[in-house]
Amino acid sequence: MRACSHVLAFVLTALAVAAQAHVPAAEAPPLVAVYGDVVHTMAGPPIEKGVVVIDGGKITLVGSALDIPVPPAARVVRGKIVTPGLIDAHTAVGLTGYLNQDQDQDQLDKGEPIQPELRAIDSYNPRERLIEWVRGFGITTIHTGHAPGALVSGQTMVAKTIGETLDDAVIVPAAMVAVTLGDDARPGDEKKSPGTRSKAVAMIRGEFVKTQDYLRKLGLGDPEKRPDRDLRREVFADVLRGKLPLLVTVNRATDIDAALRIAKEFGIRIVLDSAAEAYLADDRIKAAGVPVIIHPSMRRGGNGETENISFETTAMLRAKGIPVAMQSGFEGYVPKTRVALFEAAIAAANGLTMEQALATITSDAAAILGVADRVGSLRRGMDGDVAVFDGDPFEYTSHCTAVVIDGRVVSEEPR
Amino acid sequence: MIKTTSTRICLFAACLGGSLNAIAQERPIAFTNAELLPISGPPIAPGTIIVVGGTIAAIGPAAATTVPANAETIDCTGRVIMPGLVDTHSHVGGGWGGDASGPIQPDVRILDSINVRDSGFRKARAGGLTTLNIMPGSGHLLSGQTIYAKLRKASTIDDFAIRDAAGKPLGGIKMANGTNSQKDAPFPGTRSKSAALVRQKFLKAQDYRRKVAEANGDAAKLPDRDLEMEGLLDVLDGRIVVHHHCHRADDIMTVLRLRDEFGFKVVLHHVSEAWKVAEQLAKAKAPCSVIVVDSPGGKIEAMDLSLATGAVLEKAGAPVAIHTDDPVTDSRLFLRTAGLAVRAGMSREKALEALTLAGATMLELDARIGSLAVGKDADLIVLSGDPLSVQTKVLETWVEGEKVFDRDDPEDRLFAVGGYGAGRDQKAHGCCTDERLSETK
């Protein structure tokens, strides 16, 4: 019977229509107590027989269920394994939709190679069904935005996988600027730039030099000599000021080194993304203090620049002391998205412990995204985001049995 | 990890014989003290398998199975052994079938374009796959003939071929409906046109068959040989199985309508919306080879794709296999797809059968492969634990009594986990090839 209800849940999920793909914001999040045989707080050792109490959308208590009485009137959720709400450190869902038709594909504009002024928030559809899909597996926060495929494709954002409107969902409207180096930076038209790796790097350098000039002119005392406002310059200026990091999607070691070279030359923050051959450049990445959001190992197209993907990259980089997070990435066909939980599972089976793998989609991901003060661990004062499982979250046959976001129980269907 | 008492089965003298196919394993091999998952029967633990001449000579509880005195014994304590995995739908090997010249190309054979050194085959062995149905794509109504391949160590496609008694390589034929095969003329523009083109072509084949019959062996009256017609007659006469790509429920039913009209044998592939017509599929006894992927969507036809398709079909009583559609899912993670199917409600038994015996049956190879049973080919995999656990590793893959993957071998391990060089074509596998190459330096 239990198996039957699972089947029903999966089928109903498959039938979910756009109207069901979002969760309306309730007036006031109720008092919730989430009990687990084991609670992985990611802020200390796991707690056996633990409980997480959420009030007003924020975590108020975390500890042993023996020490914390059930709060009166609390909605109680129980499960075997309790973790922080999971974080997908890089995706394009919300900009890319599951239909894969023109009307739901806003993850990439190839009109120009360099468009940092494109903002993810202006395309994000919080009702997109893929958001509901990944949420069902415990993903409560996503770093989403413009996909790889242009040299500079736009700004990314961080959002909760909840809400009817952008404002309900977004927690960081402008998180990073998405840059691609390597084959995917080529526009596909031989007459258009960048046509080579060297040209791509030259164009990026040219933009930053131009922006340095822009900033110099802005600093001139005479208002008459100030340049006109320029959205492109303003975004790159925030990069030069250290306000926005570049999210550099690279795979070949050659391109990883080029990204590190640019970062050093202009003194800017970067986060490496995908980084199939990062294990060939781990010493340089470590020395540069650059974090890596590692490719989905199951991504389509294990050839070309990603032919050397390893299931062990996450473990290898972590062993070097490089901050790492996992991601679902971007998929252009079937399946339309990966699931960060499943990608971290590959890492958990290839050199990481369960808690280390969990960190790649919780605490460490939050730190890399700059949102560790709100999400990624179960501590007093953090957002009330919790995922509940009926077994090891990384086992294929386990289910995510409940998802709580900002203190609202948004799903209790086993998935 | 696993101790072996002999080194290489591929002897120099044997290689001179030509095809690696011909190399027979001579010394008996005993896999002892394993947890055996025969698929065709209940688990045996601890159990022993005796392999002689590339086939399974004995299988049973360890205490009741005699190991021949001259056997190479492999102690598999703590290991799980199950049949080599059977993938009913793979695109490994870089093969291309039909070209852009037309929508129906039954004369085209995928075997003429496969690179057996493709790294994908090494990854497939690392995933525990031993038999693949290698298919041309879904961009045609009929894109060509498929080949059933055994992942033996191979220098040419002949080494992969599974042959009938007459020596003919076995395979099926690939068909597709829905959106993938719709494009500008001469391809169809609608679903109705797709069905009409297929019906017309089968009617033509029936006419060809009638003319051949009427000639009654008279050379003067025989129609000219026509490779397309011969390919279609293999289908109409039931000599080969149609492997039909289909997603939407109505497309699935269209395939069954054509099947019933022309009487061909068909396996339905992908069947994203099969859960909507599960009762009809069970009633029609339609074999379904399911794809299990991480999310719905990617195209309109897959918008209602469900992880529970296998579970729903199982409960309705329809035959279910699972396939990789590699590169859509990675062959190294084939066991994972069964795990996800169980997550969504399929029984463990049927999910493991879906990776093995069910697929073998759909390829009409169940007399030779798909389960651990006396007389069957010794295609088996040695696992570190529960086949459905993320933590489980394929340690060894054996085809017909020969080890074709060993996770302890650094080169094999590279293809199992990936890393620098894992995307390269593999080296030639002939045992003398390396020596031959080094002689030329």
User: What is the pLDDT at residue A11?
Assistant: 53
Say if strands B129-134 and B85-90 run parallel, antiparallel, or are unpaired: parallel
Residue A12: inside a domain: no
Give residue B325's pLDDT band: very low, low, confident or very high (50, 70, 90).
Answer: very high
Residue A16: inside a domain: no
Lowest mean pLDDT among B24-38, B233-247, B371-385: B24-38
User: What is the pLDDT at residue A299?
Assistant: 85
Task: Say how many domains are in chain B.
Answer: 2
* Cβ–Cβ < 8 Å for A321, B427: no
User: What is the pLDDT at residue B423?
Assistant: 85
Write out chain B residues lying below 8 Å of A340, CB-based: none
Task: Say how many domains are in chain A.
Answer: 2
Residue B424: inside a domain: no
Q: Is B149 in the same domain as B295? A: yes
**A63-80 pLDDT per residue, tens:** 999 999 888 899 999 999
Instruction: Give me the mean pLDDT over the A203-228 stretch.
Output: 93
CB atoms inside a 10 Å sphere around CB B283: 13
Residue A349 has pLDDT above 90, yes or no: yes
CATH number at residue A58: 2.30.40.10
Instruction: Give me the mean pLDDT over the A234-246 stretch.
Output: 98
* Cβ–Cβ < 8 Å for B247, B301: yes
* Cβ–Cβ < 8 Å for B307, B340: yes
Residue A274: inside a domain: yes
Query: How far off is chain A from B230, nearest CA to CA, in Å?
Result: 34
**Which residues, other chains included, contact A206 with Cβ-Cβ below 8 Å and sequence gap of 6+?**
none
Among B188, B127, B345, B164, CA closest to B239: B164
User: What is the pLDDT at residue A345?
Assistant: 98
Residue A6 has pLDDT above 80, yes or no: no
Q: Is A308 in the same domain as A252? A: yes
* Cβ–Cβ < 8 Å for B47, B34: yes
Most distant CA pair in chain B: distance in Å?
Answer: 68
* Cβ–Cβ < 8 Å for B80, B53: no
Half-sphere exposure of A37 (CA within 13 A, CB side): 7
Give residue A188's pLDDT band: very low, low, confident or very high (50, 70, 90).
Answer: confident
Residue A2 has pLDDT above 90, yes or no: no
C-alpha A235/C-alpha B345 separation (Å) is: 49
Residue B165: inside a domain: yes
* Cβ–Cβ < 8 Å for B388, B69: no
Question: Of B362, B383, B399, which residue is a domain's last?
Answer: B362
Q: Is B63 in the same domain as B93? A: no
Residue A172: inside a domain: yes
Q: Which long-range contacts (CB under 8 A, 24 or more apart) does A68-73 make?
A: A70/A33, A71/A31, A71/A33, A73/A31
CATH number at residue A159: 3.20.20.140
C-alpha A415/C-alpha A391 separation (Å) is: 12
Residue B419: inside a domain: no
Residue A2: inside a domain: no
CB–CB contacts below 8 A, A to B: 152
Q: Is A274 in the same domain as A251? A: yes
Q: Is B192 in the same domain as B249? A: yes
Residue A224: inside a domain: yes
User: What is the pLDDT at residue B47?
Assistant: 98
Tokens 């894109």 -> residue: B143
Q: Is A186 in the same domain as A70? A: no
Q: Is B122 in the same domain as B223? A: yes
Query: How far off is chain B from A95, nearest CA to CA, in Å?
Result: 14
Peptide bond into A194 cis (omega under 30): yes
Q: Is B197 in the same domain as B165? A: yes
Residue A13: inside a domain: no
Chain A touched by B295 (CB under 8 Å):
yes
**B391-403 pLDDT per residue, tens:** 999 999 999 999 9
Q: Classify residue B20 by its DSSP letter.
A: G
CATH number at residue B120: 3.20.20.140
Tokens 């969507």 -> residue: B297
CB atoms inside a 10 Å sphere around CB A12: 13
CATH number at residue B53: 2.30.40.10
**Which residues, other chains included, contact B42 with Cβ-Cβ below 8 Å and sequence gap of 6+?**
none
Q: Is A47 in the same domain as A96? A: no
Q: Is A229 in the same domain as A350? A: yes
Q: Is A252 in the same domain as A355? A: yes
Write out chain B residues lying below 8 Å of A309, CB-based: 418, 422
Residue B431: inside a domain: no
**A275-292 pLDDT per residue, tens:** 999 999 999 999 999 999
Q: Is A279 in the same domain as A135? A: yes
Residue B143: inside a domain: yes
Instruction: Give me the mean pLDDT over the B316-333 stretch.
Output: 97
Mutate to test the interface with B, among A1, A2, A11, A20 (most CBs of B within 10 A): A11
Q: Is B31 in the same domain as B122? A: no
Write out chain B residues lying below 8 Å of A14, CB-based: 275, 296, 304-306, 308
The interface predicted TM-score of the complex, written ipTM, equals: 0.93
Question: Of B339, B362, B385, which residue is a domain's last?
Answer: B362
User: What is the pLDDT at residue A221?
Assistant: 82
Residue B13 has pLDDT above 50, yes or no: no
Residues B381, A357, A157: CA angle, nearest 5 degrees: 125
User: What is the pLDDT at residue A10?
Assistant: 53
The rounded radius of gyration (Å) of the Cα atoms in chain B is 22
Q: Which helix (H) or strand (E) holds B278?
A: helix B278-283
Q: Is A40 in the same domain as A136? A: no
**Higher pLDDT among residues B177 and A7, named by residue:** B177
Tokens 């794709």 -> residue: B305
Is B303 in contact with A333 (Cβ distance < 8 A)? Answer: no
Q: Which residues pair with B87 in a beta bridge?
A: B132
**Tokens matching residue A320:** 């070097």
**B392-431 pLDDT per residue, tens:** 999 999 999 999 999 999 999 999 999 999 987 655 444 4
- Which residues constitute the domain of residue A66? 31-83+380-411
Q: Is B140 in the same domain as B58? A: no
pLDDT averaged over every residue in chain A? 93
Write out chain A residues lying below 8 Å of B311, CB-based: 3, 6-7, 10
User: What is the pLDDT at residue B82?
Assistant: 99
* Cβ–Cβ < 8 Å for B369, B361: no
Residue A145: inside a domain: yes
Nearest to B308 among A11, A280, A395 (CB): A11
C-alpha A279/C-alpha B89 separation (Å) is: 33
Query: How far off is chain A from B63, nearest CA to CA, in Å?
Result: 33
Is B328 in contact with A307 (Cβ distance < 8 A)? Answer: no
* Cβ–Cβ < 8 Å for A8, A112: no
Is A99 in contact with B420 (Cβ distance < 8 A)? Answer: no
Chain B touched by A395 (CB under 8 Å):
yes
- Which residues constitute the domain of residue B28? 12-84+372-408
User: What is the pLDDT at residue A302?
Assistant: 54
pLDDT averaged over every residue in chain B? 92
Lowest mean pLDDT among A31-40, A150-159, B13-22, B77-86: B13-22
Say what the pTM is.
0.93
**A350-409 pLDDT per residue, tens:** 999 999 999 999 999 999 999 999 999 999 999 999 999 999 999 999 999 999 999 999
Nearest to B345 among A10, A307, A335 (CB): A10
Instruction: Give me the mean pLDDT over the B339-363 stretch.
Output: 98
Chain B touched by A101 (CB under 8 Å):
yes
